[in-house]
């Protein structure tokens, strides 16, 4: 009896291993499809009909290179992707793996599947590493664009009702970063007070600023501003992702001797 249980445990371990591989494949495929849908990539991956790229990715996560893409469901309205993968084994039933020792008890195979779901869309709330609000009109890309060439933001010029087209967001705590959310203009929580001046807020140290060196960060976008000076405020409409390649503020800059905030590529998240 003990030998029988020991033998069956080997088959169970095989099932767990197979499912883990299928899960990895499903996760990777769902992320690939969601990314393709979010960026409107012309690679054919954003489809409920599994592309060759999706099948290759799923099989690449299997130790033996054998896995089946059971289904891919893309919902363009809800912005969701659901991927289900299933086992594939030569000589076995579809979606199944063979059970060697369990065959003694009449169980010759078992179905193994894994599923993964991903939703894409624009961020609506998050912690901003840099409490800097940028006027939406500062960007050199259209509403339908996904990326632009190098973007240079200068404090002394540009559009936006606040001088320079961007400025610092005030905070009440000691942390440099702020939790910022977007919503309707009538919602008071989407309006944030301005911290006037060209220099970063005193709560932001050189160490805080260095966290964005060569990193992709989200910057809050405003399309309306009201008031003046310390009584001014921004209406945060959304976020833009920047890969920071350089910046220069009053007392801090990276790399040494760099000009104003030079960032590429710019991606406007809508």
CB 169 within 8 A of CB 131: yes
Distance CA(12)–CA(107), nearest Å, equals 12
Predicted pLDDT of residue 165: 67
Evaluate the CA torsion angle 194, 199, 205, 208 in order and state its sign. positive
Neighbours of 168 (CB within 10 A): 20
- The pLDDT assigned to 104 comes to 62
Asked whether the beta carbons of 45 and 33 are under 8 A apart, the reply is yes
Q: Which residues have C-beta within 8 Å of that of residue 233, sequence separation ≥ 6?
A: 191, 192, 193, 194, 225, 226, 227
**52-60 and 2-39 helices cross at what angle (nearest 10)?**
140
Say how far apart CA 79 and CA 189 lie, in whole Å. Answer: 26
3 state SS of 242? strand
Using CA atoms, how far apart are residues 17 and 21, in angstroms rounded to an integer?
6
Report DSSP state, residue 227.
S
CB 212 within 8 A of CB 252: no
Instruction: Supply the Cα-derived Rg of the chain in whole angstroms.
Output: 26
Residue with tokens 């960026």: 39
The residue behind tokens 């299997």 is 62
List of the chain residues with pLDDT < 50? 1-3, 258-270
b/e code 59-96 from CB counts within 10 Å (16+ = b)? bebbeeebbbbbebebeeeeebbbbbbbbbbeebeebb
151: helix, strand or coil: strand
Cα dihedral 81, 87, 92, 97 sign: negative
Rounded Cα gap, residues 45 and 194, in angstroms: 43
The H-or-E segment that residue 15 falls in is helix 2-39
The residue among 64, 83, 85, 59 whose CA lies nearest residue 72 is 83
> In whole angstroms, what is the distance from residue 243 CA to residue 198 CA?
21
- The domains of the chain are located at 2-119, 125-269
Q: Which helix (H) or strand (E) holds 55?
A: helix 52-60
Long-range contacts of the stretch 90-93 (C-beta < 8 A, 24+): 90/66
């Amino acid at each position: 009896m003990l030998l029988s249980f020991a033998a069956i445990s080997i088959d169970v371990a095989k099932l767990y291993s197979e499912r883990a591989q299928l899960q990895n494949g499903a996760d990777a495929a769902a992320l690939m499809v969601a990314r393709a849908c979010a960026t409107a990539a012309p690679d054919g991956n954003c489809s409920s009909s599994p592309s060759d790229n999706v099948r290759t990715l799923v099989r690449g996560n299997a130790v033996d290179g054998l896995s089946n893409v059971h289904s891919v469901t893309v919902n363009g309205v809800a912005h969701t992707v659901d991927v289900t993968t299933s086992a594939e084994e030569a000589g076995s039933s579809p979606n199944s793996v063979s059970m060697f020792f369990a065959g003694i008890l009449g169980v010759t195979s078992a179905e193994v599947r894994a599923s993964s779901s991903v939703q894409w869309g624009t961020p609506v709330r998050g912690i901003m590493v840099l409490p800097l609000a940028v006027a939406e009109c500062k960007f050199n890309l259209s509403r339908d664009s996904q990326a632009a060439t190098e973007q240079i933001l200068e404090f002394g010029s540009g559009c936006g009702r606040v001088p320079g087209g961007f400025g610092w967001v005030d905070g009440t705590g000691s942390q440099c970063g702020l939790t910022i959310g977007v919503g309707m203009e009538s919602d008071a929580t989407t309006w944030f007070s301005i911290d006037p001046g060209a220099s970063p807020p005193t709560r932001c140290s050189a160490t805080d600023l260095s966290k964005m060196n060569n990193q992709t960060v989200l910057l809050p976008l405003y399309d309306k501003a009201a008031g003046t000076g310390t009584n001014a405020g921004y209406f945060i409409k959304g976020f833009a992702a920047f890969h920071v390649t350089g910046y220069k503020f009053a007392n801090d800059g990276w790399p040494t001797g760099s000009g104003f905030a030079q960032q590429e590529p710019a991606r406007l998240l809508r």
